[in-house]
Structure 1
Amino acid sequence: MADLKSKDLPPHEIHEGSIQPSPTNVTDIAHGVDMDHYRATVPLWKRVWQHSLTQMMLLSVQAFCGPAMSDAITGLGGGGLATPQVSNITNAITYAMLAIFCFFGGPIVNKLGVKWALVIGAATFPIQGSAYYCNSKFGNQWYLIFSGAISGIGTACWYVAEAGAIMTLAPSGARGKYLALWIVSRNLGQLVGGAINLSKNHLKGADGGVTPDTYLAFVIIECIALPFALLITPFERVVRSDGTKIVTAETLSTKMELRRIVKTMTSKLVMFSALWALWSFFYGGTWSTYLGTYFSVRARALSSLISPFFCIVGCFGLGFILDMKHLSQRRRAQIGLWTVVILNVGVYIWSIIMQAKFDHHNPGHIDWEDGLYPSSFLPYFFRADDRAVVPVLHVLAYLILCNGCSGSIEAVGQAIAYGMNTQTTSNPMVGFCVTFGLLAAALGPMIMLVNTTPDRIPADIIAEQQDAAREKIESV
């Protein structure tokens, strides 16, 4: 499904390679539905199925069963394995494939269609959980590493399709509600995953990795995503709650789409935000190694439960800042940027000090009953709290760029971070220092980008144009 290209928006405000429609003229958006005729001729079950909210709920269930469960496994530190090495190798491969396929995500999804891209992605979700189970139960490492490649490809298809679908399904007056539903499903899924981790691994004295039964619970939940993906209806049949339909444009040739992707990737906006996107998801490998190296099984299980809870708190906190109506949009973005930067500088200084102490004296596996637990875990806690709000600061880039661009760069950061920690003797200190340096390098371009934040984002302009065109049609 290709984008509609606006004649009224500047070229850099057009989403290349995504599925989000940007209709800006009467011809494009005059695809309203005669609701009286629609109700009289279409059965109730079909109207419910084709409703935009129903489709959003189907997407949210998939987010709960797939990415949220994957995050819960990652939150165990080293995937919950006895040593983080193989998990880091697997994640490095996963994110490398994710980066490649997110880059080409637009053309791939346009050829497959949103539904089948989601189906392919959902079908690969259980592979990760089953691979961790086989490794934990039978020591089968080749399957775990192989699963990284398959999961990366499938998840990339799912992410690109999902990202555009979320922006496309929502009626102009309910984007916030639809987005909130998605955020709740992701974080609720991580909370459920964390609860599973803790319930299976709460006894003191357990050494090595988490119990194999933990992964079986994840596999069961991950399998549920596929039937919900199959229930997705083609988006041209979806009817929004305001009586409008999703408008699709003709599909571009693969050659033309690739040209536009290259043009977008070399644009000023991408160049300025690339380091920030790379840094914002660079933390995974280092913190996963830190947890897996220095914390007991049940302490790692506890972290997978409480981290997503405070992710929600952090997200709403920054959301409050970004929604302060008495400040200009640019000022809100500036405050949000410096909030995250100051928090992260403190976290990095703290974590480097703690790692220096651990290099001098290895603490073994820290349990939540140990006196060292609060000071050693709090850096991870604050970084986990912050990871939910970092992407908010480049949400404008998501609105302006293709869905795959930022996702591809972020996945590159994750791949490098996990790749740095693939050695058993890997020292988290290296990762902390490199991540700190990336933040310093990314800050200058990001300040310049935030300082040029427009008063109105393209989504608001499009919504106003849709409303104006609708009023014009009704007046005829």
Structure 2
Amino acid sequence: MQAAEITAADLPPLPTRRGFAKWYSQPVVQVCLIAMVCFLCPGMYNALSGIGGGGQVDPKASNDGSVALYSTFAATSFFSGTLCNRLGARLTLGVGAAGYALYIGAFLSYNINQNSGFVVAAGALLGVCAGMLWTAQGSMTLAYATESTKGRLFALFWMIFNMGAVLGSAIELGLTYDSEASTVSNSVYAAFLAIAAIGAFIPLFLVSPGLMVRVDGTRVVVPVHPSWKTEIVGLYRCLRYNVWILLLFPYFLSSNWFYTWQFNSYNGALFTLRTRSLNSMLYWLFQVFASLAFGVAIDSTRFRRVNRAWGGLVFVTALCMAVWGAAYHFQKGYTRADLAEPRAAEFARIDFKDAGYANHVVLYIFMGIMDAIWQNFAYWLMGAMSNDASQLAYLVGFYKAIQSAGAAGVFRMDSNLAPYMTELAVSWGLNAAGILFVIPVILLRVTDRTDEAVVTADEVPTVIAASALEKEGSLDEKKGSMA
């Protein structure tokens, strides 16, 4: 790949950094700040989603909003790599973060006036913003890592990000502990709205990606103000010369599909409100531990990267089959009709004080663990393919586009009242298909090292000078040909 050689000449010289400035510009610190954006914005969104129906007893408004959200999310994400390279990762991240507060505010409004149209409109706008946020986050996190730290650095991000959902779920639990209602109160939505609004300002304090140096001394090479035409051509070439990415689309598609069954058809259907909040907190909390363990294991230098790829796939497969097998066992005990009138009054929702709760919550915890490892493995695979920030922006954009298209489809399925068992079967089948299509990608694309041109911090002045001479020579040639 030649992206680094093409754009290296445009790298700005590094400023002199000492003390706090030097510490602050470290990749690990910047990734923590990026994670804090997601802690405060998508983290609060996940806390609401995790209790089912966006905190409403009737999930229809939430489902309709989610369909709008993920439809625009999918459309935007396909081109969000282009947007990220053109606008810059920091601006893209900041604009993306702004949409979460509006979406949470729409649910606060719905609690007051039942205006479902506002939820749908806010969801559509959030889809655009989310596509930008996640592409910028993914491209920066993977580009800042070295070959041997991509799993751990992404795991660090995932830990901090999911602690936001843990915090949000803890707030829900505290404010709903003594509530007899099945719908989240205005105070919960207001608290989440304030937290998400704060997160939108953090991107202002990030170091420019073009000034970042990895821990091994290499510079992060990013496109500097490319034209829209250049970016569209780059997107086309990325697809044309990386046809293997199509094999990962089934894995990408299934990566958000299972959320609907987990959040709405399991947690939202079976449990009381306070228990749903507790379940959600545990779901996200165990993602923190799972992502850390998997990130350390997948980056282990004791084994070749190819062997780690196969080991990761085997572990993902075993965990996925075990979780869905246990889920099928529980799903046989209830149907959607049990929660509909007139049988709903007789359906006893499970409280955490009830006998038999432990088995249900253990399964929900393992659903969270599976989610963390599924997502971590997807990002690790993309990171194993490239070190170039512009290419990673395209790849992450494809990932979020296909992932969001799947989410839009399954939320529409749930909104149309598909049987719970059907949702489970489709989710399980898509996960299995995604795993099968990863096999040829590992066979054909994963190597022990990604061979790409890199630029060290010491080489930048020389590269810039050489580029200036080259451009000057090219200009002279053009003048001569015109004469």
TM normalised by structure 2 equals: 0.81
- SS at 1:82 equivalent: coil
Distance 1:29-1:245 versus aligned 2 partners, 3 A rule: farther
- Following the alignment from structure 2 to structure 1, what is the Cα–Cα distance between the partners of residues 62 and 272? 17
Q: CA RMSD in A?
A: 3.4
Larger CA deviation: 233-242 vs 431-440: 233-242
2:196 match: 222
1:171-201 deviation digits (Å, cap 9, x = unpaired): 7887677545423320221221121111111
Deviation string, structure 1 residues 98-135 (Cα, Å, up to 9, x no partner): 11111011222233332322221222221121111121
Whichever structure has more helix as a proportion of its residues is 2
1:58-457 aligned within 5 A: 58-169=33-144, 178-203=153-178, 206-236=180-210, 246-265=220-239, 267-290=242-265, 291-359=267-335, 363-394=347-378, 395-400=380-385, 402=394, 403-423=396-416, 425-452=417-444, 454-457=446-449
Answer whether contact 2:100 2:196 (CA < 8 A) is retained: yes
Distance 1:306 1:26, change over 3 A: closer
Which whole-Å deviations, capped at 9, do the CAs of 1:438-461 have from their partners, x for residues lacking one? 123333322222234533242xx4
Identity of aligned residues (%): 23
CA distance in 2, matches of 1:186, 1:95: 20
CA distance in 2, matches of 1:194, 1:117: 28
Shift of 1:75: 1.0
- For the Cα contact (< 8 Å) 2:51–2:280, is it kept in 1? yes
Q: In structure 2, do the counterparts of structure 1 residues 112 and 26 end up closer, same or farther at CA, with 3 Å as the change threshold?
A: closer
**Alpha-carbon distance between aligned partners in 2 of 1:407 and 1:235, rounded to the nearest angstrom:** 21
What are the ranges of 5 or more consecutive residues in structure 1 without an aligned counterpart?
1-5, 8-21
**1:175–1:97 Cα change, 3 Å:** same
Name the aligned partner's letter for residue 413 of structure 1.
Answer: G
1: CA distance, partners of 2:22 / 2:291: 34
- Asked if 2 retains the 8 angstrom alpha-carbon contact of 1:276 and 1:446, the reply is yes
Q: 1:59 to 1:250 in 2, by over 3 A?
A: closer
Deviates more, 1:361-370 or 1:165-174: 165-174
* 101-110 or 134-143, which deviates more: 134-143
- In structure 2, what residue type is equivalent to 1:212? N
C-alpha separation between the residues in 2 aligned to 1:434 and 1:53? Answer: 38
Structure-2 separation of matches of 1:87 and 1:223: 21
Judging changes above 3 Å, is the alpha-carbon distance between structure 1 residues 53 and 398 closer, same or farther for their aligned structure 2 residues? closer
Q: CA deviation at 1:225?
A: 1.4
Q: Which runs of 5+ in 2 are unaligned?
A: 340-346, 386-391, 463-483
How many residues align structurally? 444
Whether the 8 Å CA contact 1:61–1:185 is kept in 2: the answer is yes
Matching residue's letter, 1:323: D
C-alpha distance in 2 between matches for 1:385 and 1:64: 18
Give the aligned residue type for 2:366. Answer: F
Q: How far off its partner does 1:49 sit?
A: 6.8
CA contact (8 A) 2:90 2:208 kept: yes
Alignment check: 8 A CA contact 2:12 2:210 kept = no
Residue type at the aligned position of 2:420 = P
Using the TM superposition, name which of 330-339 and 264-273 deviates more: 264-273
For residues 457 and 444 of structure 2, the distance between their equivalents in structure 1, rounded to whole angstroms, comes to 27
